[in-house]
């Protein structure tokens, strides 16, 4: 597997970074995950814009122009045999020999990117959905930044697994649903699709945005509004969305069935429209 690191393409086993990288010492960096369908990078502009927002919010220098970013990612895709892939790219603030919370001026960001085969979502999940538990959202107040600092997400994922669940839906201290540990949340109530509005409490998911635009094109009722824990509990359907999983149906919440315990009607429609949307994108 070939990776990109600071200007070079090289085998993953040969790629090395400094132990003094601020990403390693402080989790001082940001990242993106971008799906590739039939060798075409999906929603490149939107992912790049989110990367630029994350860089700007953290005052990390953006080392490349948009065209340079595209060239690096296209090169990586071309160097691998898989038609469907997902790109991971990470920018850390750079290497600083003296450990100090305060970053030195003029650091050179460390840029790392690699790609993986993107597997279709397992048939079992499409047919039966996933089990989720609710957990208190223990993260910080800037979840809109796609930061590599993911310790709370890891801890919550472990807590979900310890309860026998596939994932968790995070609920704020105020009793409001934010998102999944690595996904956005949707519910369906009386035929209307509902997702929380963008804020500092959630990542502005690209898949969430795609789902919203598909819903609008298809005249499916959709609103952005806060979802309370009670509304989550009484939802007809619950979905989690992300770049590598598209929209996943949640069929069990805190040990209780969601709807009739099967992926819902609205999810089935959206799943079909999403596949069509990908197909149209590939053929463009």
- The catalytic site residues sit at 146
Exposure string of 59-91, with b = 16+ CB inside 10 Å and e = fewer, is ebebbbeeeebeebbbebbeebeeebbbbbbbb
The residue from 183, 195, 201, 251 that contacts ligand PLP (CB under 6 A) is: 183
- Least distance in angstroms from the C-beta of 72 to ligand PLP: 19
Among 29, 109, 205, 259, binds ligand PLP (CB under 6 A): 205
- Restricting to residues 25-54, name those near ligand PLP by CB under 6 A: 33
Helix (H) or strand (E) holding 31: strand 29-37
Query: Are 110 and 95 spatial neighbours (Cβ–Cβ below 8 Å)?
Result: yes
In terms of phi and psi (left: phi > 0; alpha: psi -120 to 50; beta: otherwise), the region of 6 is: left
Beta bridge partners of 85: 36, 117
Pick between residue 4 and residue 31 the one whose CB is nearest to ligand PLP: 31
The SS3 call for residue 105 is coil
What are the DSSP calls for 240-254, one per residue? EEETTTEEEEEEEET
Among 184, 201, 251, 252, binds ligand PLP (CB under 6 A): 184
In whole angstroms, how far apart are CA 29 and each of 51, 89, 114, 178?
Answer: 11, 11, 16, 23
Least Å distance, CB 33 to ligand PLP, is: 6
Site string for ligand PLP, 234-263 (x = CB under 6 A): -------xxx--------------------
Our finding on whether 207 is near ligand PLP (CB under 6 A) is: yes
Which has the closest alpha carbon to 43: 24, 70, 21, 16? 70
Q: Of 55, 73, 182, 215, which one interacts with ligand PLP (CB under 6 A)?
A: 182
Please state the closest distance from residue 115 (CB atom) to ligand PLP, in A.
15
Taking the least distance from each CB to ligand PLP, the nearer of 28 and 212 is: 212
Exactly one of 55, 95, 130, 206 binds ligand PLP (CB under 6 A); that residue is 206
Closest contact distance (angstroms) between CB of 213 and ligand PLP is 13
Q: Which residues contact 128 (CB under 8 A, 6 or more apart)?
A: 251, 262, 263
**In the complex, minimum distance from the CB of residue 107 to ligand PLP, in angstroms, rounded to a whole number:** 25
Using DSSP's 3-state secondary structure scheme, residue 131 falls into: strand
**Footprint of ligand PLP on residues 122-181 (CB under 6 A)?**
179
Which stretches of the chain bind ligand PLP, using CB under 6 A? 33, 179, 182-184, 203, 205-208, 241-243
């Amino acid at each position: 597997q070939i990776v990109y690191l600071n200007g070079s393409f090289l085998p993953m086993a040969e790629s090395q970074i400094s132990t003094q990288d601020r990403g390693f010492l402080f989790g001082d960096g940001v990242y993106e995950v971008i799906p590739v369908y039939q060798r075409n990078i999906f929603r490149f502009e939107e992912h790049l814009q989110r990367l630029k927002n994350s860089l700007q919010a953290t005052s990390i220098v953006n080392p490349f122009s948009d065209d340079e970013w595209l060239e690096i990612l296209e090169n990586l895709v071309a160097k691998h045999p898989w038609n469907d892939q997902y790109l991971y790219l990470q920018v850390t603030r750079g290497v600083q020999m003296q450990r100090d919370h305060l970053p030195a001026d003029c650091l050179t960001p460390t840029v790392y990117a690699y790609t993986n085969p993107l597997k279709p979502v397992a048939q079992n999940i499409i047919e039966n959905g996933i089990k989720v538990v609710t957990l208190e959202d223990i993260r910080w107040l800037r979840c809109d930044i796609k930061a590599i600092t993911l310790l709370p997400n890891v801890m919550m994922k472990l807590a979900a697994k310890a309860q026998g669940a596939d994932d968790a839906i995070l609920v704020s201290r105020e009793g409001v649903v934010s998102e999944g540990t690595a996904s956005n949340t949707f519910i369906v109530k009386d035929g209307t699709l509902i997702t929380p509005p963008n804020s500092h409490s959630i990542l502005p998911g690209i898949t969430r945005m795609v789902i919203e635009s598909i819903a609008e094109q298809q005249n499916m009722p959709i609103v952005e509004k806060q979802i309370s824990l009670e509304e989550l509990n009484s939802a007809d359907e619950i979905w989690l969305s992300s770049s590598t999983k598209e929209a996943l149906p949640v069929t069990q919440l805190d040990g209780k069935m969601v709807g009739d315990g099967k992926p819902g009607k609205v999810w089935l429609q959206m799943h079909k429209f999403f596949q069509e949307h990908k197909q149209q994108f590939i053929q463009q």
